[in-house]
Amino acid sequence: MKRLAIIGGGPAAFYVASRILSRSSDPSLRVHIFDRLWSPHGLVRYGVAPDHPEVKNCTHKFDQVASDARFRFFGNVDVGTAKNDALKHAVHLPLRDLQNSYSHLVYATGCTLPTQHSALPPSEWVIPALKFVHWYTQHPAAPPAPALDRISRVALIGNGNVALDIARMLLTAPAVLKQYDVPSPVISVLERSKVTHVDILARRGPLQAAFTAKELRELLTLPDAAMEPIPDELLQVPADITPSRPQSRILQLLQKGSKTSFGSTPKSFSMHFFANPTGLIPPATADNGFAQLQLERTTLDAAGRAIPGARIPPLPTSLVVPSIGLQPEKPLRVRAGRVLDVDGETALRNVYAAGWAATGAKGVIASTMMDAYSVADVVLGDLAEAAEDVIGADEPPACVRDAKGVVTTYEDWKRVDAEEIRRGEAAGKERERMDWQDARQFLWGSD
């Protein structure tokens, strides 16, 4: 029996499993996914903006993967050398035990740590974007809700889609968000929010923006929020540069501005280009006034890198949310889908990496799919040449097998999925999410 273990249960993991199972006719092959979260699909469930339900359609393909008799999913299983304190309810599975039970191993663990801004260490005034997203998607790590009832201005650092997602969550009326996959406790916080203005800062210019025209258009057409006009000089294209079609479209949207005029709506936002944070001065007292976000004007060198310049007036803000990227918990050296040894020279036997675990946090689900398929083809080639392995039967390691009422299967997930949708329909929304305690009570009637 040939047994493949995939660590991680996001899109990359399921696309690897899909490719392998669809292209192998070996009835003895087993593909098992282990995820430290109790529910599958990773960033599709806990990263995609709630008002983008169409992005989650890939889960239909993942359901097809799970219908293959050679596939199994084990949620709430934390694979590694040490137990993760943020997910205390998960079963700890030492990596060596997994390696002893499977002939091939794929890391699809993604990038789960926020990149820290060197000038903005976490504090009561600085919350990483990942924690903010995990709050409104009800991630099992359960970060606390931001104190939006005491906040009027938020500064987002970064010009990617995640920054614009957070801006929309803060600027969209809760009555609109209610129809989507937004947990009721999150809606309750948003209904009490005092946020009236969002600043979005980028250290480079609009030509280097990482957000898409689609995301920008959605922000510009919000009915209750208008954009402060951007100074013309910040939107000028250097004479020696010919913008690409996507860049030209973004420039046109920024020049045109928001659907509603600035000053005519209850909420507003500003986009600051060529502005780099250099520090944060807390308010004089904890319950009075704004913090001051210190800034410098930047320029670009010949390679397009931001060069520090003169100081510019600070921005008053109640909360800073850096959104400048993600990092893996365990950096891997990868070549052509294969994980290399610590020296980065020799490929480890039958060990692979796919998705962001291999490429870093870049690209969208479609690019993750293509990368996963290419890695799966490498695995398939090795599986075809491998001798039959005598390891185990169609069962996970003992610590997983024996953890009744904790480890979840894909069948468990589909029961929860159907119940979330049913509860959502009763409330007039896409779904009503369960947290782990709700799901455990629903599945097994235990606290």
Question: Residue 125: helix, strand or coil by DSSP?
Answer: coil
Asked if residue 365 belongs to a known ligand binding site, the reply is yes
Question: Greatest CA separation found in the chain?
Answer: 71
**Cα–Cα distance for residue pair 41/115, rounded to 1 Å:** 22
364, 15 in Cβ contact below 8 A? no
Nearest to 315, CA basis, from 369, 350, 278: 278
Task: Please indicate if the annotation marks 406 as binding a ligand.
Answer: no
**Residue 423: enclosing H or E segment and its boundaries?**
helix 410-426
Does 376 appear as a known binding residue? no
* Residue of 72, 65, 64 lying closest to 32 (CA atoms): 72
Placement of tokens 């040894």 in the chain: 341
Exposed / middle / buried, residue 315 (Cβ in 10 Å: 0-12, 13-18, 19+) = buried
CA 9/CA 31 separation, integer angstroms: 12
Give whole-number Cα distances, 25 to 20, 74, 325, 410, in Å: 9, 23, 40, 22
Cα–Cα distance for residue pair 53/62, rounded to 1 Å: 16
CA distance between the termini of the chain:
38
In 3D space, the residue among 348, 342, 352 whose CA is nearest the CA of residue 107 turns out to be 352
* 159 in a labelled binding site: yes
Query: What is the distance between the alpha carbons of residues 185 and 174, in angstroms, rounded to a whole number?
Result: 12
55 labelled binding-site residue: no
SS3 375: helix
Q: Is 203 annotated as a binding residue?
A: yes
Amino acid at 278: T
Is 350 annotated as a binding-site member? no
Residue 215 marked as a ligand binder: yes
Q: 234: part of which helix (H) or strand (E)?
A: none
Q: Give the residue carrying structure tokens 């889609």.
A: 161
Q: Do the annotations mark residue 133 as ligand-binding?
A: no
Residues 6 or more apart whose CB falls under 8 angstroms from that of 210 comprise 158, 159, 160, 161
363 has binding-site annotation: yes
Residues 6+ apart with CB under 8 A from 82: none
415 among annotated binding-site residues: no
Rounded distance between C-alpha atoms, residue 319 and residue 316, angstroms: 9
Known binding residues for NADP(+): 159-162, 203-204, 215, 363
Known binding residues for FAD: 12, 43, 79, 356, 363-365
Known binding residues: 12, 43, 79, 159-162, 203-204, 215, 356, 363-365
